[in-house]
Structure 1
Amino acid sequence: MWFATNFQVPKSWDGKTTLLNFQAVDYEATVFVNGVNAGNHVGGYFRFSLDVTQLIKYGQDNQLLVFVYDPTDSEVIPVGKQTRNPRHIWYRSCSGIWQSVWMESVASDYVTQLDVSAGMDGTVAWTAHSSQKKGSPVKLSILDAHGHEVATQSGTSDEELKVKMSSPKLWSPSSPNLYNITVTMGDDEVHSYTGFRTISTGVVKGVQRPLLNGEFVFMFGTLDQGFWPDGGYTAPSREAMIYDLKMLKSLGFNMLRKHIKVEPDLFYQACDEIGLMVVQDMPSVPADDNRLPNAAQQQEFQRQLEILINQHKSYPSIVTWVIYNEGWGQLRNPPYPEGTLTRVIRSIDPTRLVNAATGWNDHGFGDFSDNHHYANPQCGTPFYSLASSPYDPKRIGFQGEFGGIGHNVSADHLWKVQQAMNTINETYEINSDLNAYNYRASVLFREFREQVERYACSGGIWTQTTDVEGEVNGLYTYDRRLLRPDVKQWKNDIQSLHSAARSRGGA
């Protein structure tokens, strides 16, 4: 594909550094400015910037050309659920420029990335990465909601610095407190924010649990795939994207699992502000056991996993990184790659939990013992399906996916593609009306609650936030116009899960 546009930049930018930023292009992008190759980027989910200072005609017309190559699932690359052959749980691809593109004028030595991590004890670890001179003087200011400076520190760029603040208001889903940050480096000034919270794991009343700020918090959310009938991967607006998140929060969910997709930064900012924990998946390679990654493809998967962590590790809402989903692209023989990948993640970001394998092929790595089972949950229990491994009491018992009950709707709310509609009956379970749908949901919630009360269940993921193409098992239909849950019932059922967790030592 070729994308083309003309643009102008102000004459006042001449003499400064001009950056051309792409939030995400799927899959490989080669960028030309005024006929000159400005750079290349591989990976469909990650942002990149190009210094085009010397290629711009300031105050005049300029030409931008972007050539995009996207093999989708014809190659063994991180692709998520995109396919050239859409069917049931595999969806149409979203090739090309699918997130924002913008230009900016910056100082000659500018902050390329700001890494921030703030713990419950008030310690802020931060690193300002510079574009040119390592060791440039930098200054950090932390401000409260009223704009008052509550902590400050000076140091040098490209090295981790730490400053401690006394008695911060902690971030949690029930109180998503955030603090603004300003960092200056020479003529450059950047603004960001952080939330003080600590994610860890520990034994509570004899059971290994996930801990938020030192307390067992039951993690309950939905499988959030982030597809839209009018834009594929791209939401029609920020408001539409946040509409889904507000619905989850209003029902009592405190978390979502971002399923083998990486969203625009505005999504994670909204989760930070609303108070939704995020379990973030690494986008998988195609789920084809006959085409498992070779050494070079596995190395590329690791390279992009490292980019995912580095670009998103400053968001307070993200609490867990997921490496593999249901064995997709997961090598079957030792040495198991998730062992190495778990260590790589911990070396980049030791502040979060790691779910090495959600569903199916669990080789004992990471912080979670994760089961997938739809019609009946099996969370931290002494019983399990053949598709998953038995519960490992040394790790957190978790229901990585369950539910999935479906309800067909009128053509007004279906995605009007016959090929997709033909796969509706492949949904895990179809309920003929909303009364039956909500009754079946209540049965699954009861089973799930009993496993929280009796066994070692610390959280779970309901499938799913919305319908997608031919799937009709979402809380919302694909057009977001019909909400299936009986709101009062679901609020009560979700609250009962948290009450059950509190009876086992939860917060």
Structure 2
Amino acid sequence: MKLLFFVPLLVVALVASTFAQQASWRPVDTKILSPWAAEIDPANPHPEYPRPQMTREDWVNLNGLWNYALAPKGAGMPEAYAGEILVPFAIESALSGVGKTVGKDQELWYFREIEIDRSLRREKLLLHFGAVDWEAEVFVNGQSVGTHQGGYDPFYFDISEALQSGKTQSLAIRVWDPTDEGPQPRGKQVNEPRGIWYTPVTGIWQTVWLEAVPEHHIRSLKNTPDFDNKQIRVQADVAGATAGQRLRIRLLADGTPVGEQLVANQEEAVFMLDAPQVWSPENPFLYDLEVALMDGKKVVDQVNGYTALRKISTARDANGIQRMLLNNEFVFQYGPLDQGWWPDGLYTAPTEEALLFDIEKTLDMGFNMIRKHVKVEPARWYYHCDRMGVLVWQDMPSGDMGNRWESRPGVIGKGTEKDRTPESEAIFRKEWKAIMDANYNFPSIVVWVPFNEAWGQFDTEEIVEWTVDYDPSRLVNGASGGNYTLKGQIMDMHNYPDPVMPDPQIWGDQQVIVLGEYGGLGLPVDGHTWQEKDNWGYQSFKNETELQERYSRLIQDLKPLIPKGLSAAIYTQTTDVEVEVNGLMTYDREVIKFDPAFLRNKHQELYTIKIPMK
């Protein structure tokens, strides 16, 4: 068996030694820790710049130890706090240092004082949150500056008017999260974890940070590739733009200027590429962007970013079957179902190195794609996929479940749709749009997935049509393994453990055919499981040899489906998650259950199958 860091006594010793030096914080007693837990600096966790698509120099990271309290819902700001919590780890996680549940009848309060340097108080000061699950109200010096609902999209508030004289300012955040007792998107979280349903994630779970900007500043960028015309289009939105101001947009390749344009606010700059560098898994080339807001010759504000030229589309093969193309060529997409959970941080990877680790190992194993399953990652995760050349299918986190779905081998599911309340529908639509907006610029994302296995699936045709229209630069997998629809470009079924596909003679004329989930081969590894017994996989094995032999048969059965019409497949899953032991790696990432070279060689067999196109 291939072992990673397989020295548990050493890891425990290192963790204990590190925590002894950080007396004010230590993980709560937990089932298992990842090796990166020992590397956390509680004074500066996740110190990396959190928004790599649009960077500025003047920013301050507010991660670290905050005060916290739990109070009855609606009771107001508490007068005393219960202790310290490590931001950005959810309160239920071991790494928060708290490990408590909250529920719908309580609110979680955060509090800390910060010092605002004079250099940050010139014009506007924005307080950013990468993600807070689920409802967050922010107070500055006791004054409410805004409320946000949504557990998976970044948001910010302008706190300039709430600042007081002097350096010291107080921040308080009220969080309410009903988990599975509310209608909001929440993915796999439940109040009573079991089987494929996991521990709740309440509160701040991504970086909190301050950013100083001028009164007139660049609010957002929108970068759109036009592969066939060898163009990249860039659009910027300016807060408080005046008629005389212009945006100077520069595109660079390896530091060499490709083009420069001066445009008005929200006007597209179109860059013609005479010798385009194309983004793909084999060559994940990224163009750099410099965007400056100009008032005459004066630079009022400037941000830096990046973009890429790539195309995801469909076309018929020689047999008239719809295929999924990357840059106008058929590429079989094969990757793991990646849920992005951690035994110690839950939704939050312990460190940047941990966040990167799963992507690196996925590539080492020879996958070219990842399906990010009913969760949205921090922006830095997508940045690493962009620069490393990983194709990403992005799910919408599910919620408000309870409807029925049907699926069996060879047949796409068609069950009932959820009758959601107007409030529930509005929450879904608002957050799905916010997620798409926040992640539009990442070239690695090639497929949007609004629904999974009919979990809360509603108004399917309308939602899928809207998604297609809102972002025509990507494909839409409208109902992965759920209640089918001919809207969207992809027909997706799930089957465990063996690979199957819908009849291409029935469906292949209309939509791309994919196998959205299969596999789920389980292997519990002693000392690396969430609990000592009663762990499970879709099909369990006793050792690595049995596991690899069964996986080999899965690949052999998968290969003949590709020439018949299959365009992509997704194996469940990247890691074990809580009581599920069907991961390619253990939950703590200390043991890789497969030889990566074995997997890489097996997967290469899938990519070399040639499909003649019309």
TM-score by length of 1: 0.93
Amino acid at match of 2:552: S
Matched with 1:387 is: none
Residue 413 in 1 paired to residue 521 in 2?
A: no
CA distance in 2, matches of 1:448, 1:202: 22
CA distance in 2, matches of 1:292, 1:462: 31
Q: Structure 1 residues 397, 134: closer, same or farther in 2, change over 3 A?
A: farther
Residue 401 of structure 2: which of 245, 264, 287 is its match? 287
Q: Shift of residue 289 of structure 1?
A: 2.0
Q: Shift of residue 58 of structure 1?
A: 5.5
Structure 2 counterpart SS, 1:231: coil
Residue 21 of structure 1: which of 121, 128, 138 is its match? 128
Contact 1:134 1:158 in 2 (8 A): no
CA distance in 2, matches of 1:134, 1:473: 56
1:409-464: per-residue Cα shift (whole Å, max 9, x none)? 10x11124x6xx43x23x210011111110110011110011113x1011110000
- CA RMSD across the alignment: 1.6
Residue 491 in 1 paired to residue 605 in 2?
A: no
Residue 258 of structure 2: which of 150, 153, 161 is its match? 150
Residue 263 in 1 paired to residue 377 in 2?
A: yes
Contact 1:200 1:214 in 2 (8 A): yes
Matched with 1:160 is: 268
Contact 1:379 1:448 in 2 (8 A): no
Q: Structure 1 residues 111, 317: closer, same or farther in 2, change over 3 A?
A: same
Amino acid at match of 2:607: H
CA distance in 2, matches of 1:126, 1:344: 23
Q: Shift of residue 204 of structure 1?
A: 2.1
Residue 481 of structure 1: which of 575, 590, 593 is its match? 590
Structure 1 counterpart SS, 2:604: helix
Residue 195 in 1 paired to residue 308 in 2?
A: yes
1:92-121: per-residue Cα shift (whole Å, max 9, x none)? 011100000000111111111111112323
Identity of aligned residues (%): 37
Q: Which moved more, 1:131-140 or 1:316-325?
A: 131-140
Q: How many residues align?
A: 485
Residue 174 in 1 paired to residue 289 in 2?
A: no
Contact 2:504 2:513 in 1 (8 A): no
Q: Which moved more, 1:266-275 or 1:132-141?
A: 132-141
CA distance in 1, matches of 2:350, 2:555: 33
1:186-234: per-residue Cα shift (whole Å, max 9, x none)? 3110000011111111112222111111111111111000000011000
Q: Shift of residue 392 of structure 1?
A: 4.5
Q: Shift of residue 292 of structure 1?
A: 4.3
Residue 318 in 1 paired to residue 318 in 2?
A: no
Matched with 2:479 is: 357
Q: Shift of residue 408 of structure 1?
A: 1.5
Contact 2:452 2:480 in 1 (8 A): yes
Matched with 1:447 is: 557
Residue 298 in 1 paired to residue 425 in 2?
A: yes
CA distance in 2, matches of 1:495, 1:115: 35
Contact 1:10 1:58 in 2 (8 A): no
CA distance in 2, matches of 1:249, 1:265: 19
1:237-275: per-residue Cα shift (whole Å, max 9, x none)? 111111110111111111000001010000000000110
Contact 1:78 1:286 in 2 (8 A): yes
CA distance in 2, matches of 1:189, 1:382: 51
Matches within 5 A, 1:369-448: 369-381=491-503, 391-410=507-526, 412-416=527-531, 421-422=533-534, 424-425=535-536, 427-448=537-558
CA distance in 1, matches of 2:219, 2:289: 16
CA distance in 2, matches of 1:191, 1:489: 41
Residue 329 in 1 paired to residue 456 in 2?
A: yes
Matched with 1:308 is: 435
Residue 79 in 1 paired to residue 193 in 2?
A: no
Q: Shift of residue 342 of structure 1?
A: 2.1
Contact 1:17 1:53 in 2 (8 A): yes
Gaps of 5+ in 1: 332-336, 384-389
Contact 2:248 2:293 in 1 (8 A): yes
Structure 2 counterpart SS, 1:176: coil
Matched with 1:55 is: 162
TM-score by length of 2: 0.77
Residue 122 of structure 1: which of 230, 242, 250 is its match? 230
Matched with 2:216 is: 109
Contact 1:354 1:366 in 2 (8 A): yes
Structure 2 counterpart SS, 1:18: strand
Amino acid at match of 1:190: V
Structure 2 counterpart SS, 1:91: coil
Structure 1 counterpart SS, 2:261: strand
CA distance in 1, matches of 2:314, 2:166: 56
Gaps of 5+ in 2: 1-107, 295-299, 405-417
- Larger relative contact order (Cα-Cα within 8 Å, sequence gap ≥ 6): 2
